[in-house]
């Protein structure tokens, strides 16, 4: 692979964005490699982590390649990003991203397709497409806007401002903020926890929750009942519930309790 590397660490697949000389900018070939390693992870792992090599996670679209495209080629390129990022967001595995440095434009769109985002203190977030004379094309209108809200996304796109990791956490762009250099370690830890969950539970969480968000409240509650009932009848669920009832596993404790 030219732009990415892949490692299997236990049940967790690690995908490293490895184009640091271009701040891990996303090209067409980059997207195709990402599609290939997602397929590999789906066959080998129970959870995944995406991170960036070098000083940045990803600074977005490869503009040098983009300016050479016709409008029609641009549409097809955008739809391919949607397809591949959709395999992360609504695929087989729970995905975590470890973010540092620039998480900008397409980099933020890629991060938005993961289910849990961990940023270190160096991370900064922006959608500078308005200043480049273009528009987001990798899913930000849907995924990123739903995370931070339409008003905040409008602000970023109109003004070109960037926000730091603490602001990103307040805005719901990321769920965790850690010290510089610790994002990957934390993301792998969290992915390991998710990998230990019942496979059907993980699948239901990443598949059902976003769809229920698109439904009316009444429809969402109806779907929830069926998923909950079916999940409880799987052999893995029965074994885990019996283990809990027999006190073979601990109860949920306070967040300040040592495990």
Task: Look up the CATH number of the domain holding residue 222.
Answer: 1.10.12.10
Q: Is residue 215 domain-shared with residue 128, that is, in the same domain?
A: no
Does residue 99 sit in the same domain as residue 134? yes
Looking at the fold, whether 216 and 102 belong to one and the same domain comes out as no
Catalytic pick from 89, 109, 169, 180? 109
**Which residue is catalytic, options 83, 129, 169, 199?**
129
Return the structure tokens found at 181.
């250099």
Q: Is residue 56 part of a domain?
A: yes
Clarify whether residues 92 and 117 are in a common domain: yes
pTM, whole model, 2 decimals?
0.91
pLDDT tens readout for residues 199-257: 999 999 999 999 999 999 999 999 999 899 888 888 887 777 677 667 776 777 778 77
Q: Tell me, what's the pLDDT at 239?
A: 76
Residues 147 and 220 in one domain: no
Residues 55 and 43 in one domain: yes
For position 43, what pLDDT does the model report?
97
**Is 109 an active-site residue?**
yes
- Of 22-26, 47-51, 69-73, least confident by mean pLDDT is 69-73
Specify whether 182 is catalytic. no
Residue 66's pLDDT is what?
Answer: 63
Distance CA 22, CA 24 (A): 5
Name the residue among 33, 15, 19, 29 with its Cα closest to residue 93.
15
């Amino acid at each position: 692979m030219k732009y990415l590397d892949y490692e299997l660490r236990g049940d967790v697949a690690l995908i490293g964005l490895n184009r640091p000389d271009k701040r891990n900018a996303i090209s067409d070939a980059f997207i195709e490699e990402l599609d290939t390693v997602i397929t590999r992870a789906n066959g080998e792992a129970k959870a995944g982590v995406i991170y960036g090599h070098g000083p940045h996670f990803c600074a977005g679209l490869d503009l040098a390649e983009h300016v050479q495209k016709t409008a029609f080629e641009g549409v097809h390129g955008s739809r391919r990003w949607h397809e591949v990022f959709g395999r992360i967001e609504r695929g087989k595995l729970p995905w975590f991203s470890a973010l540092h440095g620039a998480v900008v434009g397409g980099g933020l769109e890629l991060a938005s397709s993961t289910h849990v985002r961990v940023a270190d203190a160096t991370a900064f977030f922006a959608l500078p497409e308005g200043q480049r004379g273009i528009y987001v094309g990798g899913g930000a209108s849907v995924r990123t806007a739903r995370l931070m809200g339409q008003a905040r996304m409008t602000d970023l796109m109109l003004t070109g401002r960037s926000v730091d990791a603490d602001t990103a956490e307040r805005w719901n762009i990321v769920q965790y903020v850690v010290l510089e250099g610790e994002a990957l370690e934390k993301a792998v830890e969290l992915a390991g926890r998710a990998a230990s969950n019942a496979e059907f539970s993980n699948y239901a969480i990443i598949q059902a929750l976003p769809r229920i968000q698109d439904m009316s409240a009444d429809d969402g509650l109806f779907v929830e009942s069926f998923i909950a009932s079916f999940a409880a009848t799987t052999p893995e669920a029965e074994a885990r519930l019996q283990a809990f009832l027999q006190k073979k596993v601990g109860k949920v404790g306070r967040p300040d309790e040592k495990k």
